[in-house]
Structure 1
């Protein structure tokens, strides 16, 4: 009996040792399952001649379409309003019936309401009068900082004035609608207009123009974009539409399910919101900026084909398209990550989950590029993007090595954010502590460490004959475990972003990026309010003065320099 016990114990110890060794090998040593296989110098020289190149210094990411988007991209404020069904139970009734475009056709004794401005700093849009146009018959009621001034058939004049809190909130409620002719097609337009040929400046009346005056009320169908938004975006010659398109966590598969221009609002919950391709292409054309599109993670071949064909037909022929499959598929916070792993395993690309996901991402990216190449009948206007994790240099090698993926890629994109550790942010007593951390040579996340990451990424991508670009970048000061704007350390993080030293940090950062060999840098992001979930905006709101926005000032100085 004692001998049997010793035998069992010995087997148990051996099993434990084997399992421990396996765990150490797979989890700690992490063997490379995709060998580093760059092309030979001769092969690389030949490949480089066939590739397209990034051509602009600086680009901008767009924002999600929401009622609290401080960029205010559209002239018609209603296009960024919350969809009526999404405001139940606090503003819309439960049993309201809606049409295919999201307009209520039968209130069922209730109401349908929405907010079209929310938590925005005073000055984001001008205080003053706005024109509300609508079709059909019914009764509208305005709330928060919006007040009715004058009514006529199919048209209201309202006043929007920020209150004592200097924060803009505005809502509208449909209280009655005619079942035979429902109230619909609400448009909320600022007063004034633009001078023909100058879409970047809002003027109050025709006396300001030497060219024909185009009043917003009469020309809103042609003037899609807010002049203040165009004025901000015009300096960035590459626009990444990932957020504006609503691509993040969007499960869309079929082209017929896409958002269309006639939809009541392009805002909404994650996975349903998104600006139509028609509008995004129009924006790129108006800005004369190259367009960067990210395809949804479950998009069918037909969806990608139709998207590409529309772009090929309607985008200005002088402009290029950066094309990317999904976004950050390496990042565990996104469902895209799990999807690529599942697909990689299902297609028997690898038994190891992480490696299967890497292989599927590379494979699906190549398939996506080919669909776009077919739509454009060439590769000349396409910049094919494969993306990775700035801190993970081996991932870069694996993605470019697998099955010769580098042959089909023009640029490799990373997001080299700089920031401070959670521990240091929580221990910080003032803004000086924040800047001390992000400039500390011993910090894993500060500027010196990120600059080293950039240099390593450039070295790897150069081996494969592809350029390094940044799909996002800038500061990343955020404590995700906080939940209120005033919770520590958030006020210190906002103050750091408003400090002139942040502008100096951006200048050092961008100069180092360029010196290391990085190409186009797409900053994150267009104007956004600062809150517990980050201080991402180059400005806090679209009309903020350059002198009050040190990050924006640094971006423009980088372009000028």
Structure 2
């Protein structure tokens, strides 16, 4: 099942009971795709201590404020804006054109007669391949139709229907099966290519298929390359790659190491080996979001894999799941419920009493910190002499600093920072309007009037408040996500038109510079490639093959030295 995250401002009243008056200001976060849709700073002074130190708040006059701003701008002359990117979900209908091996983007294994429908009862091998007859569904958008090649090892007779038809197949003496099929150029009513149905029948469970590879016309079936050059070129300018969506973090049910997506197997999500390879190939720092249900063995095996394979010169950012403050996600509801259950067991409280205590004392927020530090400790153990590369980040809600405040108070009170080494706090300070998804503009002019008002009245104060909070605790401030946040089905054509209006670029650049001048550090934009829909307009582009867009140009301009002068 595909879950949709709709950032409905009305959800704010269930996030916390502590400060309800400001929660209505908005919920920021990321959106998971559905089949019909693409789916919030420290001082600029480097942190050199490993302890959380609460510094005295100092008043500063206008002259000092001006001097600080000048220093930041002078720094910008020599340094690029520290921009990262959230990479969009690896779904079958993706237009990111990420893989050489298109099988990696296929959906979970399904039924032979309905490959598009995942089969929950299908037994899989340790490598993630079916032990009985199964089907596979993939689109391969943005790749050229024509003669495509495939190969796999093991048993199973292959065939294609819908957007594919078998041309030839040969089984070699070593058990390798190779062949070709015609990837049709026929279109559906919406103008997209007809999906391909792949079937594997007569599978021997003692010799199941494995290592399925499918390459489009113009690609080498025998190449060891993992990613297309177009995709690598797209992410080349960025500093950090946040893998939240590629890890399928939202609504994750992963508990054990055995639950993880296996390398070289089809299915939603991306294997850690491939994420590590992407960071290594591109020399980009990884930001990973560990599943909320994952046990210690899963965390340790993940940490060990990164310690063994990840470029030791790169920082590794760790986040405890994604948006554990946001009850629209199952991970937030699960985490909140677990703290209530724990109180009921340990203190003998009724559900109502336990819930009231959790809300009043911010116990869930404290638990978020405890788990983040636990994860950090395991990673630091596995990284050994390279433990300084582990950068735990405490993420919270931009519109309500209470979540991060309670976490930091708990971190200081329990003395965990010596082993936790919390690197920073992070928010997602999205540019929206006060109306959220109900916004029903009558013109593009109205869109920018409302977005500018929201930016001035809400986003800037959020950034300023969290910059001061980060400085108070001697931490950095990151944006784990950010960008424009228009969504909702009202006036969809107007909202789409606003995405490529020059004023969107102007607003984004002012927003980025305010972030930098306020002391904000790495800003991880959301997101890379996503189409327009009522669920949002998140992508810098709607397709890897799309020409230049206003949002992409604004971000690229920020990466030029002196962009905020």
The question of a shared fold, defined as TM-score above 0.5 by the shorter chain, is answered with: yes
Instruction: State the shift of 1:392 in Å.
Output: 1.0
**Residues 26 and 452 (structure 1 numbering): CA distance in 2 closer, same or farther, change over 3 Å?**
closer
- After TM superposition, the structure 1 = structure 2 runs for residues 260-339 of structure 1, keeping only pairs within 5 Å, are 260-263=262-265, 265-267=266-268, 274-339=269-334
The C-alpha deviation readout for 1:108-148, integer Å capped at 9, x for no partner, is: xxxx4333117x5xxx223444223344452412323x455
Find out whether 1:367 has 2:374 as its counterpart: yes
Separation (CA, whole Å) in 2 of partners of 1:95 and 1:55 = 47
Separation (CA, whole Å) in 1 of partners of 2:152 and 2:248 = 27
Separation (CA, whole Å) in 1 of partners of 2:51 and 2:545 = 42
SS state at 1:292 partner = strand
Separation (CA, whole Å) in 2 of partners of 1:465 and 1:292 = 21
Query: In the alignment, what sits opposite 1:388?
Result: 396
Find out whether 1:224 has 2:226 as its counterpart: yes
**Residues 46 and 262 (structure 1 numbering): CA distance in 2 closer, same or farther, change over 3 Å?**
closer
Runs of 5+ in structure 1 lacking a partner? 1-24, 31-43, 194-215, 268-273, 483-487
Separation (CA, whole Å) in 2 of partners of 1:328 and 1:340 = 11
**Residues 387 and 281 (structure 1 numbering): CA distance in 2 closer, same or farther, change over 3 Å?**
same
Separation (CA, whole Å) in 1 of partners of 2:18 and 2:384 = 44
Separation (CA, whole Å) in 2 of partners of 1:500 and 1:87 = 49
Separation (CA, whole Å) in 2 of partners of 1:466 and 1:93 = 44
SS state at 1:297 partner = coil
Query: In the alignment, what sits opposite 2:106?
Result: 81
Query: In the alignment, what sits opposite 1:431?
Result: 444
- Decide which of 118, 124, 130 is 2:148's aligned counterpart: 130
Query: In the alignment, what sits opposite 1:551?
Result: 551
Query: In the alignment, what sits opposite 1:508?
Result: 510
Separation (CA, whole Å) in 2 of partners of 1:80 and 1:510 = 33
Separation (CA, whole Å) in 1 of partners of 2:50 and 2:240 = 24
- Decide which of 117, 120, 138 is 1:116's aligned counterpart: 138
When structure 1 is superposed on structure 2, of 342-351 and 227-236 the one drifting more is 342-351
**Residues 244 and 55 (structure 1 numbering): CA distance in 2 closer, same or farther, change over 3 Å?**
farther
SS state at 1:538 partner = coil
The C-alpha deviation readout for 1:513-549, integer Å capped at 9, x for no partner, is: 1111100001111211222221111110112222xx2
**Residues 506 and 116 (structure 1 numbering): CA distance in 2 closer, same or farther, change over 3 Å?**
same
TM-score by length of 2: 0.75
Query: In the alignment, what sits opposite 2:82?
Result: 57
Query: In the alignment, what sits opposite 1:409?
Result: 422
Query: In the alignment, what sits opposite 2:6?
Result: none
Separation (CA, whole Å) in 1 of partners of 2:250 and 2:112 = 21
Query: In the alignment, what sits opposite 1:196?
Result: none
**Residues 452 and 127 (structure 1 numbering): CA distance in 2 closer, same or farther, change over 3 Å?**
farther
Higher relative contact order (CA 8 A, sep 6+): 2
The C-alpha deviation readout for 1:385-443, integer Å capped at 9, x for no partner, is: 11111111232222111141666311111111111233795431232221221112xx3
Is the CA contact (8 Å cut-off) linking 2:83 and 2:239 kept in structure 1?
yes
Is the CA contact (8 Å cut-off) linking 1:74 and 1:224 kept in structure 2?
yes
SS state at 1:60 partner = strand
- Decide which of 165, 169, 176 is 2:194's aligned counterpart: 169
Is the CA contact (8 Å cut-off) linking 1:132 and 1:156 kept in structure 2?
yes
**Residues 241 and 94 (structure 1 numbering): CA distance in 2 closer, same or farther, change over 3 Å?**
closer
Instruction: State the shift of 1:238 in Å.
Output: 0.8
When structure 1 is superposed on structure 2, of 80-89 and 536-545 the one drifting more is 80-89
**Residues 462 and 170 (structure 1 numbering): CA distance in 2 closer, same or farther, change over 3 Å?**
same
**Residues 252 and 49 (structure 1 numbering): CA distance in 2 closer, same or farther, change over 3 Å?**
closer
Is the CA contact (8 Å cut-off) linking 1:138 and 1:183 kept in structure 2?
no
The C-alpha deviation readout for 1:51-85, integer Å capped at 9, x for no partner, is: xxx99701111222210122132111111111232
Is the CA contact (8 Å cut-off) linking 1:296 and 1:326 kept in structure 2?
yes
Separation (CA, whole Å) in 2 of partners of 1:464 and 1:406 = 11
**Residues 462 and 67 (structure 1 numbering): CA distance in 2 closer, same or farther, change over 3 Å?**
same
SS state at 1:174 partner = strand
The C-alpha deviation readout for 1:290-313, integer Å capped at 9, x for no partner, is: 111111112222211111111111
Larger Rg computed on CA atoms = 1
**Residues 460 and 189 (structure 1 numbering): CA distance in 2 closer, same or farther, change over 3 Å?**
same
**Residues 332 and 423 (structure 1 numbering): CA distance in 2 closer, same or farther, change over 3 Å?**
closer
The C-alpha deviation readout for 1:356-384, integer Å capped at 9, x for no partner, is: 21111111111111111111125321112
Is the CA contact (8 Å cut-off) linking 2:51 and 2:417 kept in structure 1?
no
Instruction: State the shift of 1:185 in Å.
Output: 4.6
Instruction: State the shift of 1:149 in Å.
Output: 5.5
When structure 1 is superposed on structure 2, of 285-294 and 124-133 the one drifting more is 124-133
Is the CA contact (8 Å cut-off) linking 1:55 and 1:520 kept in structure 2?
no
Instruction: State the shift of 1:45 in Å.
Output: 7.4
Find out whether 1:466 has 2:466 as its counterpart: no
Q: Which structure shows the higher strand fraction?
A: 1
- Decide which of 152, 155, 161 is 2:179's aligned counterpart: 155
Q: CA RMSD in A?
A: 3.2
Instruction: State the shift of 1:170 in Å.
Output: 2.2
The count of residues paired between Structure 1 and Structure 2 equals: 468
Find out whether 1:542 has 2:544 as its counterpart: yes
Instruction: State the shift of 1:182 in Å.
Output: 6.7
**Residues 554 and 447 (structure 1 numbering): CA distance in 2 closer, same or farther, change over 3 Å?**
farther
The C-alpha deviation readout for 1:483-518, integer Å capped at 9, x for no partner, is: xxxxx3322222221323222221111111111110
Instruction: State the shift of 1:314 in Å.
Output: 0.9
Separation (CA, whole Å) in 1 of partners of 2:457 and 2:119 = 54
Find out whether 1:187 has 2:213 as its counterpart: yes
**Residues 292 and 71 (structure 1 numbering): CA distance in 2 closer, same or farther, change over 3 Å?**
same
Instruction: State the shift of 1:169 in Å.
Output: 3.4
Runs of 5+ in structure 2 lacking a partner? 1-16, 23-46, 54-78, 172-177, 348-353
SS state at 2:221 partner = helix
Is the CA contact (8 Å cut-off) linking 1:411 and 1:466 kept in structure 2?
yes
When structure 1 is superposed on structure 2, of 469-478 and 340-349 the one drifting more is 340-349
- Decide which of 358, 366, 374 is 1:353's aligned counterpart: 358
Query: In the alignment, what sits opposite 2:175?
Result: none
Separation (CA, whole Å) in 1 of partners of 2:518 and 2:402 = 19
- Decide which of 524, 527, 536 is 2:526's aligned counterpart: 524
Separation (CA, whole Å) in 1 of partners of 2:130 and 2:311 = 37
**Residues 541 and 178 (structure 1 numbering): CA distance in 2 closer, same or farther, change over 3 Å?**
same
